[in-house]
Structure 1
Amino acid sequence: MLFPTATFAIFFLIVLPLSWLTMPWPHRWRPFIIAASYVFYSWWDWRFVLLLAGCTLWNQVLAVRIWRTTVQSRRRALLALALAGDLGLLGYFKYYDFFVSSGDNLASYAGLDLPLSLKSIVLPVGISFFTFMAISYVVDAYRGDFEPTTLEKFAVYLSFFPHLVAGPIVRPAELIPQISTPRDPRRVDTSRAFYLIATGLFKKVVIANYLASSIVDQVFATPGQHSSLEILIAVYAYAVQIYADFSGYTDIAIGIALLLGFQFPQNFDSPYAAVSVQDFWRRWHMTLSRWLRDYVYIPLGGNRRGRVLTYRNLMLTMLIGGLWHGAAWTFIVWGGLHGSAMVWERWRGERRGTAERHETTWTRWRARFLTFQFVCFAWIFFRADSFGAAWDMITGLFTRWGEPSPLVTSGVLLAIAVGIGSQYLPARIPRVVMARFSRLPVLGQATVLGLALMVTSVMGPEGVAPFIYFQF
Structure 2
Amino acid sequence: MSYLSIEFGLIFVVLFAIYWAFRLLPKFQNNLLLISSYLIVASYSVQFAVILFSYTCVIYFFSIMIATSKQHAKIWLVLGLSAAIINLALFKYFDFFRYELQSLLNYLNLSILLPAITIFIPIGISFYTFHSVSYLVSIKKKELPVAKFWDFALFLSFFPCIIAGPINRAKTFIPQIVVSQPREILEPFRAFTLLILSVIKVYCLGGLISENWITPIFSNPLEYSTLDLLVGLYGYAIQIYLNFSGYTDLVTGIALLLGFRLPINFNFPYLACNVREFWERWHISLSHWIRDYIYIPLGGNRRGFIRTQINVMSAMLLSGLWHGAGINFVIWGGCHGLGIIVLNILDCYMGRSWITQRSPIIARLITWHYICFTWLFFYCVSLPDALDYLTALGHNFLIESHYIEVFLSICVIFLLYPLFKNIPDWCSLQLSKINRIYLPIIFIFILWLTIYFAPSGMPNFIYANF
- TM score, norm. by length of structure 1: 0.94
Match of 1:331 in 2: 329
Shift of 1:90: 0.8
Residues in 1 aligned to 2:195 and 2:352: alpha-carbon distance in whole angstroms = 42
Aligned pairs (5 A) from 1:4-15: 4-15=4-15
* Aligned amino acid, residue 118 of structure 1: A
Identity %: 34
Look up the equivalent residue of 2:452 and give its one-letter code: V
CA distance in 2, matches of 1:349, 1:272: 21
Q: Which amino acid aligns with 2:244?
A: F
Runs of 4+ residues deviating >4 angstroms: 182-187, 409-414, 416-423
CA contact (8 A) 2:202 2:459 kept: no
Residue number in structure 1 paired with 2:458: 464
Q: Distance in 1 between matches of 2:277 and 2:154?
A: 33
Of the three residues 378, 392, 413, the one matched with 2:374 is 378
Displacement of 1:116: 1.0
Preserved contact between residue 23 and residue 182 of structure 1 (Cα < 8 Å): no
The residue number in structure 2 matching 1:450 is: 444
Equivalent runs, 1:248-397 vs 2, <5 Å: 248-352=246-350, 354=352, 356=354, 358-360=356-358, 363-397=359-393
Q: Does structure 1 retain, via aligned residues, the 8 Å contact 2:77–2:140?
A: yes
Deviations 1:55-113 (A, max 9, x none): 21111111121022110xx2222112111211111111110000010111222233333
- Of residues 316-325 and 380-389 in structure 1, the stretch that sits farther from structure 2 once superposed is 380-389
Alignment map for 1:158-237 (pairs within 5 Å) = 158-181=156-179, 188-237=186-235
**Given the superposition, is the C-alpha separation of residues 181 and 30 from structure 1 closer, same or farther in structure 2, using an over 3 Å criterion?**
same
SS across alignment from 1:425: helix
Structure 1 residues 120 and 422, CA gap change in structure 2 (3 angstroms) = farther
Task: Name the structure 1 match of 2:155.
Answer: 157
> Does residue 440 in structure 1 map to residue 438 in structure 2?
no
The residue that corresponds to 1:398 in the other structure is 394
Could you report, residue by residue, the CA deviation over 1:143-188 in whole angstroms, capped at 9, with x for unpaired residues?
Answer: 2233221111111111111111100001112211111115756552
Q: Give 5+ residue unaligned stretches, structure 1.
A: none
Within-5 A mapping of 1:99-178: 99-178=97-176
For the 8 Å contact 1:240–1:419, the answer to whether it is kept is: no
> Which secondary structure state, in structure 2, belongs to the residue aligned with residue 43 of structure 1?
helix
- Which residue identity is paired with 1:59? I
Q: Residues 443, 418 of structure 1: CA spacing in aligned structure 2 closer, same or farther, 3 A cutoff?
A: farther
CA 1:411–1:120: 2 relative to 1, 3 Å: farther
Q: Which residue of 1 aligns with 2:56?
A: 56
Out of 140-149 and 228-237, give the one that drifted further: 140-149
Q: Secondary structure at the match of 2:161?
A: coil
Q: Which residue of 1 aligns with 2:17?
A: 17
Amino acid in the other structure paired with 1:402: L
Distance 2:407 2:453 in 1: 13
For residue 353 of structure 1, report the CA deviation from its aligned partner. 5.2
Output the amino acid matched with 2:45: D
Q: CA contact under 8 A between 1:214 and 1:412: conserved in structure 2? A: no
Q: 1:29 deviation in Å?
A: 2.0
Q: Is 2:26–2:182's contact at 8 Å kept on the other side of the alignment?
A: no
Aligned equivalents of 2:135 and 2:253: distance in 1? Answer: 24
Higher mean displacement: 443-452 or 393-402: 443-452
Within 2, Cα distance between the matches of 1:107 and 1:292? 32
* CA-atom RMSD in angstroms: 2.0
Native 8 Å contact 2:185 2:256 kept in 1: no
Residue pair 1:183, 1:262 contacting (<8 A) in 2 also:
no
Q: Compute the displacement of 1:426 (Å).
A: 5.6
Q: Which range moved further: 278-287 or 57-66?
A: 57-66
Q: Which residue identity does 1:453 align to in structure 2?
A: L
The AA in structure 2 aligned to 1:70 is: K
SS of match in other structure, 2:109: coil
Q: In structure 2, what is the Cα distance between the partners aligned to 1:109 and 1:445?
A: 64
CA separation in 2, counterparts of 1:229 and 1:426? 26
* Secondary structure of 2:117 counterpart: coil
Counterpart contact for 1:240–1:420, Cα < 8 Å = no
- AA aligned to 1:51 is I
The alpha carbon displacement at 1:404 in A equals: 3.9
Contact 2:356 2:362 in 1 (8 A): no
Paired residues in the alignment total: 466
CA–CA separation in structure 2 for the residues paired with 1:423 and 1:145: 40
Unpaired runs of 5+ in structure 2? Answer: none
Corresponding letter in the other structure for 1:436: Q
Whole-Å Cα distance in 2 between the matches of residues 468 and 97 of structure 1?
Answer: 21
**Normalising by the residue count of structure 2, what TM-score does the alignment of the two structures yield?**
0.95
Contact 2:124 2:162 in 1 (8 A): yes
Q: Specify the code of the residue in structure 2 equivalent to 1:367.
A: A
Q: Which amino acid aligns with 1:391?
A: L
